[in-house]
Amino acid sequence: MEFRVERHTLADAVAWAARTLPSRPALPVLAGMLIEASADGLTLAGFDYEVSARSEIEAEVAEPGRVLVPGRLLAEIVRNLPPHPVDVALKGAEVVVRCGSAEFGLQTMPVEDYPSLPEPPAVAGTIPGDVFAAAVAQVTPASGRDDTLPMLTGVRVDIEGETMRLACTDRYRIAARELAWSPTAPEFTAGIVVPAKTLADTAKAIRPGAEVTIGLADTLIGVSGGGRSMTSRLLDDQFIDYRSRLTGTWESTARVRTAPFVEAIKRVALVTERNTPVRLAFSADEVQIRAASGDAARANESLPATLSGQEIDIAFSPQYLLDGLAGVDTEFARLECTGPTKAALLTAIPDSGDDDQAPDPTATTGFRYLVMPVRLTA
């Protein structure tokens, strides 16, 4: 095997394939990165029996071949190479990497022991990469971290024709996003749960402007676009009925500018300690944001806001509140409440698109974030 490739192209491909490599592999070969060179170019892949990642790039292939090398070490080497073309060649039991005056030799691993990569599942539809990445980023902060409850560590994906819904929950909040996509079959339906960390990492690495193809099988999802692809085993498809919990009648509805609200919460949260909430008091024309850490420190800031219904005095974990506001990509955010002990709904108010026209305060986007408040003691 022998080929030449541009350093930045190789670095991107290696970084993508290395994302699935386990830090403590069940089998030594799973720490390896598979490199396949052919007349069509170069393929790099990693696999841990649960998740696979594959990248296809152009390269000048002088001699086709297939080899397995330590993946994390290769990623470190390539990331630190100088900005020159990279020459890679198999010399006996060693893969030699040359770039400029730098040269590295990597001992090969037994490629014949490497498991077969899963075949990509049948294509279910496509979606613009930036739309998909934004939606995944909006919901995954609400996923759980407790592996003993797999449902909470996943993203629920519901598909009904041209509508896709994503949702995550950790029992204290629910983040959901509805968006349009293009299914291969107009009446296509599905309901699956995908590991949230895997989907979040994949979405972050999607190339800007790429069209994303999603494939589904009984136990597998595939996501591909821009020469990169991944597959992941699905989790058990049991999930809470999140849609029914995101609707209701609210006694109070507050409206506030998103960016100043986020900055004020961050400032006030500077005085908080672990489990210390940030308190929001909405009146007719303002919101007071307060926090205190015993007798050690306190903070108070007010912002213009509008309120319909009863006045609100409610407290939240500052990080939970900021995670929800991070998903609000419009000028104004809306907070709907029914008392200080019941879950509140955070949504975005669509921008009007006209500087002379105020946004419709009743309109909504496809993002919803339901969060439980912290019970106030005084």
Q: What is the mean pLDDT of residues 72-86?
A: 96
Give the CATH class of 2-113.
alpha beta
pLDDT of residue 209: 85
Of 5, 10, 80, 19, nearest in space to 206 by CA? 19
Backbone φ and ψ for 19, nearest 5 degrees, come out as -65, -25
Cβ-contact 280, 270 below 8 angstroms: no
Per-residue model confidence (pLDDT) at position 226? 87
pLDDT at 234 > cutoff 90: yes
pTM, to two decimals = 0.89
Structural domain spans, the chain? 2-113, 123-244, 248-371
pLDDT of residue 207: 81
Whether 224 and 207 have beta carbons less than 8 Å apart is answered as no
What is the Cα–Cα distance from 161 to 183, expressed in whole angstroms? 7
- What is the rounded CA–CA span in Å between residue 65 and residue 142? 44
Closest alpha carbon to 137 in 197, 61, 57: 197
Query: Mean pLDDT, the chain, as a whole number?
Result: 92
What phi and psi values does residue 338 have, to the nearest 5 degrees? -140, 75
In this prediction, residue 360 carries a pLDDT of: 55
CATH architecture of 248-371: Roll (3.10)
SS3 content of the chain, % helix, strand, coil (to 5): 20, 45, 35
CA distance 8 to 20: 20
The answer regarding whether domain 123-244 maps to CATH 3.30.450.40 reads no
Query: In which element (H, E) is residue 320 found?
Result: helix 318-326
For residue 249, pLDDT beyond 90: no
Confidence check: pLDDT of 353 > 80? no
pLDDT tens digit sequence for 257-293: 999 999 999 999 999 988 899 999 999 999 999 998 8
Query: Do the domains spanning 2-113 and 248-371 agree at the CATH topology level?
Result: yes
Kindly report, residue by residue over 93-145, the tens digit of the pLDDT: 999 999 999 999 999 999 999 999 999 999 999 999 999 999 999 999 999 98
Q: H-helix or E-strand containing 254?
A: strand 252-257
Q: How large is the average pLDDT for residues 207-234?
A: 93
Judged against a pLDDT cut of 60, whether residue 354 lies above it is answered with no
SS3 230: strand
- Confirm if 109 and 141 have CB atoms less than 8 A apart: no
CA neighbor of 105 nearest in space, from 91, 126, 117: 91
- Position 342 pLDDT exceeds 70: yes
* Inter-residue contact 141 to 129 (CB < 8 Å): no
Say what the pLDDT of residue 378 is.
56
pLDDT in tens, 14-63: 999 998 898 888 899 999 999 999 999 999 999 999 999 999 999 999 99
- Angstrom CA distances, 160 to 1, 81, 179, 189, 331, stand at 47, 47, 11, 5, 30
Residue 247 has pLDDT above 90, yes or no: no
pLDDT of residue 293: 84
Indicate the residue type of 160.
Answer: E
Residue 149, pLDDT above cutoff 90? no
Query: How confident is the model over 178-196, as pLDDT tens digits?
Result: 999 999 999 999 999 999 9
CB 209 within 8 A of CB 129: yes
